[in-house]
Chain A
Amino acid sequence: MIKVRSPQDLWAGVLFIAFGIAGLWLNRHYPIGSASRMGPGYLPMALSLGLVIIGAMVAARGLILQGPPIERAHWRPLVFVLGSMLAFYALIELVGLAITTVLATALAALATREPIRPLELALLSLGMAAFSIGLFVYLLKQPVPIWWFG
């Protein structure tokens, strides 16, 4: 029975191996060329191979040396922070900066375990919208649309 002594190392190693294999796969069609005339595949292939090798060493160390456990992941910050970013991505070109900022700020604010009062939430998201429009659109003259028209 193999015992995992350092889960952080083991999984970091697995992650590196995965990236290395992905690199090898994605670059499989590009010509490697020779040392004097390197093709587009030369360095990516070499790096990916290196990742697989080092990844294997890191993973092996996770089975041999004692290490700290992986801290538990909390779903709440992940869901709301990423949700807020995805909302921004989906909405910005659709409805403009004003509405996007209000919604994305409100979503983000839900990511903490600390309770947030509805009034505080409203003030924060409206204030954030007003501030970012003032700063980015009027002061910095960035080409970001405020509304869905215009």
Chain B
Amino acid sequence: MEILANLATGFAAAATPTNLAFCLLGCVVGTLVGVLPGIGPITTIAMLLPLTFGLPPLTSLIMLAGIYYGAQYGGSISAILVNLPGETSSVITCIDGYRMAQNGRAGSALAIAAIGSFFAGTVSTVFIAGFAPALGAFSEQFRAPEYFSLMLFGLVSAVVLAHGSILKAVAMVLLGLLFGLVGTDVTSGTARMAFGIPTLMDGIDFVPLAMGVFGLAEILTKLERPPETRDLVAARISSLWPSREEFRRAMPAIVRGTAVGSVLGILPGGGAVLAAFAAYTVEKKVSRTPSRFGKGAIEGVAAPESANNAGAQTSFIPLMTLGLPSTPVMALMMAAMVIHGIAPGTAVITAQPVLFWGMVASLWIGNLMLLVINLPMVGVWVRLLKVPYRILFPCILLFCCIGVYSVTNNSVAVLLTAIFAVLGYVFAKLGCEAAPLLLGFVLGPLMEENLRRAMLLSSGDPGVFIYRPISAVLIGMTAVMLLLIVLPQFRKTREEAFQE
């Protein structure tokens, strides 16, 4: 019963008044961000990084994590009530959620989404507690070749599981890796691709890149579209309680959604978005009456909402145990950990058990808080949705600028952010997903270091990646991933899954 003892340590660490307060703050900010379209968890976490500088590491991680899963709750509110996905992971909830609202079942859709998310949050917390230490212990056998193979597998599956063209995603990964290598090379001390600019000598800063390519590029593309019509008429909430029939239909969907989400969340490139899409597809497949989907089927709300929350939580597993960020948000969490002097990876669980278990415990506490605060506060969130985008985006823009400036204490970083914003805008125009770029960027220096070390140890023999058993398995999995792309059957399913 080591897990129980560990969890007890975790709850003791997470339940201090300060940590509870910041957990609540993170959840509320996360919900806010989730409700408002046009600002996502990536931008927000990047923006709020400076806020955490003065805090202890555990407290800041608790708050930042709260923002991420809080956003999954919040996203469902705008999806159901106004047919606007507040988050990408809620796109799928719009389909049936909004139809339910039009049918006068908004309250029950919201309640099921919240209950499903809470259930998924609880299960995935237990899943992390049980699974992460085992994975962590296993990964202690990892050396340079294993790490390199692992990161290769991570990047390849991120490409395969991403939206859109695979070829473009590969190019984006390569570009990200190249960006990651800008700056002084640790082994030789050579400043690479820095143009003699002092700011670039230490490498491209993560925050300007993430903020420019995601947050600001999103503002630029959003401003080009005509203003959204926000139909708040349907937002009448009669009763928050689902009917018995709705419960009966939703419960199995919640369980299936949680299972799908927990598994997909661990996969690199998976995370919350893919989980929600996959869960919806699964529901449609197992349903005896698939024709009800798209017309307000409660399963179409229950499953994806459970899945996105489960996926959001289990995506912490590769980061906390292997030091491998599987999604852009996790890459940001990694940046936050590094700022606080924690090297994410195998050592976290053994060397900093209080931090790790405190974090796990806070995931559950945060989910409980969200369940309690969200439903009664729906009215407040809906009112926030009435703030027009023309007022909202200058504020987001300025917060990004001030955030970047105060993280780096360097005005050149703001200029760099503007350049990345243009780049992100161009990528959006050309149909290139930015997420693989960010993952490549974070993994670039790590991959180079491990590749060099592995090749040095083997005196230049690339066979080292196949002779070592663990590495060989990882390379084998990478090869399977690559083969999947070639299979026409898989291609078709992948396209269908993203088209819905």
Contact = CB atoms under 8 A, between A and B. Distances in A.
B429 A84 contact: no
A108 interface: yes
B390 to A, nearest CB: 5
A23 B192 CA distance: 10
A74 B224 contact: yes
Interface stretch (B102-110, B170-178, B240-248, B310-318): B170-178
Given A8-B429, A34-B460, A43-B451, 5 more contacts: A38-B451, A43-B177, A82-B421, A89-B418, A112-B227
Contacts of B409: 143
Interface residues of A, number: 70
B193 A26 contact: yes
Interface string B384-404: 000011110111011101100
Given A50-B174, A116-B390, A9 B459 contact: no
Contacts of A55: 171
A125 B126 CA distance: 47
Given A70-B430, A142-B406, A105 B394 contact: yes
A111 B223 contact: yes
Q: Is the interface of A mostly helix, strand, loop or mixed?
A: helix
Given A85-B418, A92-B405, A39 B390 contact: no
B493 interface: no
Contacts of B417: 85
A86 B456 contact: no
B220 interface: yes
A92 B187 contact: no
Interface in A129-143: 132, 136, 140-143
Contacts of B178: 19, 23, 44, 47-48, 51
B421 A85 contact: yes
B460 A35 contact: yes
Contact of A38 (B219, B411, B426, B452): B452
A116 B395 CA distance: 15
Contacts of B458: 36
Given A37-B456, A40-B190, A86-B415, A109 B429 contact: no
B224 A47 contact: no
B474 interface: no
A57 to B, nearest CB: 6
Contacts of B460: 34-37
B227 A81 contact: no
Nearest to A131: B395
Contacts of B193: 23, 26-27, 44
A41 to B, nearest CB: 8
A51 B174 contact: yes
Contact of B171 (A8, A51, A78): A51
Q: Is the interface of B mostly helix, strand, loop or mixed?
A: helix
A36 B456 CA distance: 5
A12 interface: yes
A70 B429 contact: yes
Nearest to B189: A40
Interface of B: 50-51, 54, 165, 167-168, 170-171, 174-175, 177-178, 181, 185, 187-188, 190, 192-193, 216, 219-220, 223-224, 227, 388-391, 393-395, 397-399, 401-402, 405-406, 409, 411-412, 414-415, 417-418, 421-422, 425-427, 429-432, 448, 451-452, 455-456, 458-460, 462
Contact of A132 (B174, B220, B402, B411): B402
A27 to B, nearest CB: 6
A132 B396 CA distance: 11
Contacts of A70: 429-430
Nearest to B176: A47
A138 B405 CA distance: 16
Contact of A47 (B174, B430, B462): B174
A109 B394 contact: yes
A116 B193 CA distance: 43
Contacts of B216: 81, 85
Interface string A68-90: 10110110111001101110110
A54 B169 CA distance: 10
Task: Return the 8 tightest CB-CB contacts between A and B, nearest first.
Answer: A36-B460, A77-B223, A35-B460, A108-B394, A12-B430, A40-B185, A85-B418, A40-B190
Nearest to B418: A85
Nearest to B396: A108
Nearest to A38: B452
B429 A73 contact: yes
Interface string A85-103: 1101100110001000100
B433 to A, nearest CB: 11
A126 interface: no
A138 B171 CA distance: 44
A74 B174 CA distance: 29
Contacts of B425: 78
Nearest to A85: B418
Contacts of A112: 223, 227, 389-390, 393
A116 B388 CA distance: 11
29 contacts: A8-B429, A8-B430, A9-B168, A9-B431, A12-B427, A12-B430, A15-B426, A15-B430, A19-B175, A23-B178, A39-B188, A41-B192, A50-B174, A61-B167, A68-B431, A82-B421, A84-B397, A85-B418, A88-B411, A89-B418, A92-B414, A104-B398, A108-B397, A120-B391, A125-B394, A132-B398, A132-B399, A140-B51, A144-B406
A77 B224 contact: yes
B224 A16 contact: no
Contacts of A44: 178, 181, 192-193
Given A40-B188, A81-B216, A128-B395, A47 B390 contact: no
A108 B177 CA distance: 32
